[in-house]
Amino acid sequence: MITLPLRASESADDWRTLFRGRDVAWLWGGQVISQIGDGLSKMALLWFVYHLTGSALKMTLIGILETLPPLILGPFIGVYLDRVSKRSAMIVIDLVRACLLILIPAFYTLGWLTLKWLYVLVFVIALFSTAYGPALSAALPLLVDKQHLTRVNALMQSSMMIGQLLGPAASGILIATIDAQNVLYVTAGAFVLSSLCKIPVTIPHQPVLSSRGGILNQAGRALMEGVRFVFVQNHLLLLLMIVASIFTLGSTGFIYLLPILGPQLLHVDSVALGWLWSSLSIGILVTTVWLLWKKQEGLCPRLWTLVTAALAGGAAVLLLPSSTSLVMAAGLIVVVGASSGLVTPIVSASLQERTPKNLMARVFGVFNSGVMACAMLGMTIFGWVADTFGASASLFGIAAVHLGTATITAGLIPWCRRLAGTGAAGQGGVK
């Protein structure tokens, strides 16, 4: 009878602590605006390129150009970010993205825009965007205590969900009203507003001491320091990254299969497919809100949460072909989305609490590269399986990946308990 009020009171105290000084609130507000701008630009760019060229292949090249920088350059960008103010880096990234986006409609109006230069601008924008994720992930542990890391990561994920829900819808309305290229002016404005939101934010910065040698030697040593920390000194972190990357392999494959699953397996039209896609976002939103209010646990209980999420997601994917109604299919897709919504905040918080602050951006650069590689692999493999063996075979493969993720994560739990028993808990809250 008293437990619920006590928990509500504890949650309220945690939230007051989290938003003390308003740094997190300003950062989250900027993230919401930035993510909405991202949603605006993605749809507008794809629409613009398709109507400019009439080619689906040339349109999909936009997605490839946006994926390559984080895949290739993530760890190298982390070397630079660990040496600079995270707040300044995020402000500069937002402003540069705004300026580059303005060039696309401006050049188009002047008749200077060619497809080649459009691709160059998209690639450079993606290059700067690549640095934003590691900068934000490295900033969060500098703003909040370790016991609030899961909650603050879930809060930032909620901004992404708001962007995914509002951005494309607003982009569609704006494209119909002012044309696709002019939507990019609105996106640029959103990035400028996002940068202004970060001005009041105070993020502590401890400059990394320069080592001897030239710039390239220093960068090489700094990169190797981050790689050594992940691959040699902390195998648990490496395995957590592998778990998240494998899960992404399946979840990304599922997202890109949805347009095929709708007509082939579920026999629905484009309107119903839109509802099913929204169901995925609703699932992510539900677990994000749950994480926002849940008190952060130690690492071992968090691993059990990941096991449960992967098992539930895998089971829902397996049951999807046998769904007998749109409502049942939507419910199963909500479960798939909910499992995805748990993985990123929990793994990110676990990495943040066990990584020294001066290595944070490098570790997240390596992490983002691994996740992006698996995302591209998931799109390719499960798309090929669907074309060759059918959508049902592809769904079976995705379910197998989810269940494999659950098995690997469950195998980490005894190791986690041994670390807790030997006193390694002090490094990262292992319980």
H or E stretch at 204: none
Residue 430 has pLDDT above 60, yes or no: no
Q: 193: burial class by Cβ within 10 Å (0-12, 13-18, 19+)?
A: middle
pLDDT at 60: 63
pLDDT tens readout for residues 185-210:
999 999 999 999 999 998 887 655 45
What is the 3-state secondary structure of 119-158?
HHHHHHHHHHHHHHHHHHHHHHHHHCCHHHHHHHHHHHHH
> Backbone phi, then psi, for 390, in 5-degree steps?
105, 160
Residue 402 has pLDDT above 90, yes or no: yes
Higher pLDDT, 383 or 284: 284
pLDDT at 16: 60
pLDDT tens readout for residues 403-420:
999 998 888 888 777 765
pLDDT tens readout for residues 346-361:
888 888 888 887 788 8
296: DSSP letter: P
Higher pLDDT, 356 or 164: 356
For helices 326-354 and 115-143, give the axis angle rounded to 10 degrees: 60
Domains and CATH numbers, the chain: 20-199 (1.20.1250.20), 226-422 (1.20.1250.20)
Interatomic CA distance for residues 378 and 395, integer angstroms: 12
What number is the average pLDDT over the span 282-289? 85
* Six token digits for residue 19: 């938003």
What number is the average pLDDT over the span 166-182? 81
Q: Are 219 and 345 in contact (CB under 8 A)?
A: no
* Six token digits for residue 255: 């997202």
Higher pLDDT, 113 or 271: 113
Residue 344 has pLDDT above 70, yes or no: yes
Q: Which of 145-154, 226-235, 361-370 has the lowest mean pLDDT?
A: 226-235
pLDDT tens readout for residues 250-263:
888 887 677 677 66
Q: Which of 261-270, 335-344, 363-372 has the lowest mean pLDDT?
A: 261-270
Amino acid in position 153:
N
Q: What is the mean pLDDT of the chain?
A: 80
pLDDT at 176: 81
Question: Measured in Å, how far apart are the chain's first and last C-alpha atoms?
Answer: 27
Higher pLDDT, 100 or 61: 100
Interatomic CA distance for residues 153 and 392, integer angstroms: 34
pLDDT at 2: 39
Residue 229 has pLDDT above 70, yes or no: yes
Choose the most confident range, by mean pLDDT, from 131-140, 234-243, 308-317. Answer: 308-317
